[in-house]
Amino acid sequence: MALIPERVRRWPRPWRVALYALLVLYALYLVAGNVFLNTPLFDAVTNRKPEKFTLKTGPALTLMPGHAIVWNIHIRGQANHTVYVFRADRASAWISLVHLFKREVRIPGINATGVEADISRVEKAIPPPPRGDRGWNIRLDAIHSDSIRSGRFGKLLVTGEGHGTVGFQKQVKGGPSELFDSTAGFEQATVSYDGVKLLDEAHLAARFHYPRHYRDEAPGLRKLGITWAQLQVDGRSQAITIDTAGAHAKVGSMPAEARLNADLAMNRGELQPGSRMVWRVPVHAGVHAPDRGLLSLQLDVAQDMRVQARLPRDEETGSELHADLRVQGRKIPFEAPAELLPRLSGEVRGAWKFDSLNWIADLFVRKPWFRLDGGGLLEGDLKIVDGALAPGSRLDVPKVVAVSEVAGVRMQGEASAVGRIVEGEPPQAELKVAIPEFRAAPSDSPKTVLFDGKAMALNLRGDARLQQLREGMRAHLAFKDARVPDLTAYNRYVGSGNARLLGGTGLLSGEVSLDGAGRVGQGRADLRGTGARVQVLGMNILGDAQVKAQVKRADFDAGQFDLGGTTLSLRNVQVDGDTAGKGGWWGEVDLDSGHIQAAEPFRVDARAKLRLRDAGPVLGVFAARKDYPRWVLGLLDSGEVQASGQLRWQREHLAVDDLQAENERLSLRARLDMPQGKRRGDLYLRWGLLGAGIELDGDKRTWHLAGAREWYDGRPRVLPEAKPAP
């Protein structure tokens, strides 16, 4: 049989030549086109910027110019923070070759089968290009599939029998984009969020589009503000289970006979009148997730948005919920959902037996310095007007364990809490926590008792507007006459160098004010120690003490404390068993300025004024009584001494400088440096025309009797000269 039909042979020669040429060209196209689609040449052309876009395919076939069939397609792209991944078993498409000469890739239609889509957000962004109009235009009029298997949008996953048609155009290199009128839907769908099934046997239908615009006109979530969309949902709802038996709540679902029905429409970020959603969902919550009943949620949109919720009373636990809330207007602020709060009004009433009540503390404080441990019954009636809790609102917790942890000290006890709204401009939200009995211990040593007492009160108060509730919250903590059973528990704060507490008891009162983060505050403390035994610089001291601490400013995060105004009173003091005269020795210390850096490296700096019964204990640091000249011994009981000085205390290191003491008979100057229990220092003592200096180096003392004042003034300081107080 002839390869060329007889009819063709009878054609005019020019026609036969043209036919042969076309056949040759077609053969060349078949070879070149299929070689291109099935070799790395295709990857080299399509994957020039793999960090932004990659296309991987399996076998591919082209039989006609501008048409291709491709199997095993995998597409990945990233725009800013959004990563999109599409997979398909097979796709066929036509490309308009004519438009390539117009710098446009136009694909009138793509038909795909076995489609899966995955859209997620990542932290590392690829910055978009600046606005421009010089890039190629990509136009896909209709990407269609009747076999969509799944779609994942962040943590939301939809699987089932899907179908859809999507069309869009985008000019690369910063040009405008447009989403054409598109549709998507599922039958027999299963919807889950973060692995928890919410719906099954669901019907989903969506329609959406947005107009041509540049990215800087509507970036990210702002794109929803220019989108028209419609969503219809009808599916069987699963029961939600929240099991709090373990250390962490376990959220899941289980089959149930309830439904979710929704018909929502949105235009340029506004829900349209007539939009409605009704969701009836069984709730199983608590230890081992007991049945709490059927929760009904309803959304209705007219001129405003109305949300209603109802959970019938459970006779066993007393739980119930009734909520009726209105949001003024229909605009949804996708970028800043908190902007809904000022538009919110309504009422929430209910009671719930919670296994954990700590979320109440989270409403008031920004950091976990205060919490409510354990469970209990919460009863509330909240009235909200224009985003603010209104007077008449209440919140009651009859019994709970309150825990406050500030500056490394943990205080806790059984408590009751009452929340109220107080009249004001604006109204104030107040949570009063009453703790009849409490106990305080170091955070890292819970068995060590620092103090325990009764009637601690913690009040939290702030702006009742929901959007500002935590931001302006202030806390006030107060207690009185807490028992300090053993002062030795405080050695952890003293260090192990120059001073150590050997025993004694006391009473402690205090109050402190903090911001909502538990970070910055001020306060006072009053510690009255009885029979306190202290070892200082090798001397055993017994007496009674009272510290009235004033904390003008405390930054607990940074560990910085301003103690200016603090006073210390010492009474009935005995040094090494010597009462220093009838009635015992006494002294008073007033801090003109004081600063504690509690964070490492630990340091205390202070300037103080002192009133001392006499200078005996000061002189005792430099030499034993028997080592002083006779005229000095006569000054030991010379009467009350006024003194001042500068102090720095670090771990294992105490330094004193500019110590000056005066009375009618005595003038004294001293500096002392005591690293790791060692003693070095200088003392100058004057009585009338007589003067003496002592150079102390450990147990060695060198006396300077001639030119004592000049010798002292020539000695180096042990601390930098303090700046005068402002």
DSSP-derived secondary structure for 517-549: TS-EEEEEEEEEEEEEEEEETTEEEEEEEEEEE
DSSP bridge pairs for 311: 321
Please state the rounded mean pLDDT for residues 165-170: 95
CA distances from 662 to 54, 150, 205, 559 (A): 86, 89, 92, 36
Place of tokens 């401009």: 425
Residues 6+ apart with CB under 8 A from 367: 517, 518, 519
pLDDT value for 516:
64
Name the strand (E) or helix (H) holding 710: helix 708-713
pLDDT value for 553:
82
DSSP bridge pairs for 278: 261, 298
Whether the CB-CB separation of 585 and 575 falls below 8 Å is answered with: yes
Spatial separation of the C-alpha atoms in residues 532 and 491, rounded to whole Å: 13
pLDDT value for 423:
82
Spatial separation of the C-alpha atoms in residues 635 and 687, rounded to whole Å: 8
Residues 6+ apart with CB under 8 A from 14: none
The rounded percent of the chain whose pLDDT value lies above 90 is 38
pLDDT value for 111:
95
pLDDT value for 580:
46
pLDDT value for 1:
44
How many other C-beta atoms are found inside a 10 Å radius of the C-beta of residue 447?
Answer: 6
pTM of the model: 0.67
Whether the CB-CB separation of 603 and 632 falls below 8 Å is answered with: no
Spatial separation of the C-alpha atoms in residues 124 and 592, rounded to whole Å: 52
Rg (CA), the chain: 41
Give tens-digit pLDDT for 477-511: 899 999 999 988 888 776 656 677 888 899 999 98
Confidence of residue 347 (pLDDT cuts 50, 70, 90): very high
Indicate if the pLDDT at residue 174 is higher than 70.
yes
Spatial separation of the C-alpha atoms in residues 334 and 93, rounded to whole Å: 36
DSSP string of 156-173?
Answer: EEEEEEEEEEEEEEEETT
- Would you state the structure tokens that stand for residue 537, as one six-digit string? 């610089």
Indicate if the pLDDT at residue 698 is higher than 60.
yes
pLDDT value for 200:
94
Spatial separation of the C-alpha atoms in residues 657 and 669, rounded to whole Å: 9
Give tens-digit pLDDT for 549-564: 888 887 777 778 888 8
pLDDT value for 652:
76
Please state the rounded mean pLDDT for residues 448-452: 92
The rounded percent of the chain whose pLDDT value lies above 70 is 91
Give tens-digit pLDDT for 19-78: 778 887 878 888 888 888 898 888 888 888 888 889 999 999 999 888 999 999 999 999
Spatial separation of the C-alpha atoms in residues 645 and 647, rounded to whole Å: 7
CA distances from 472 to 371, 424, 462, 646 (A): 18, 14, 5, 38
Indicate if the pLDDT at residue 132 is higher than 80.
yes
Can you tell me whether residue 699 is helix, strand or coil?
A: coil
Whether the CB-CB separation of 37 and 60 falls below 8 Å is answered with: yes
Give the CA dihedral 285, 289, 294, 299, nearest 10 degrees.
40
Identify which of 327-336, 398-407, 602-611, 667-676 has the greatest average pLDDT.
Answer: 327-336
More confident residue, 632 or 83: 83
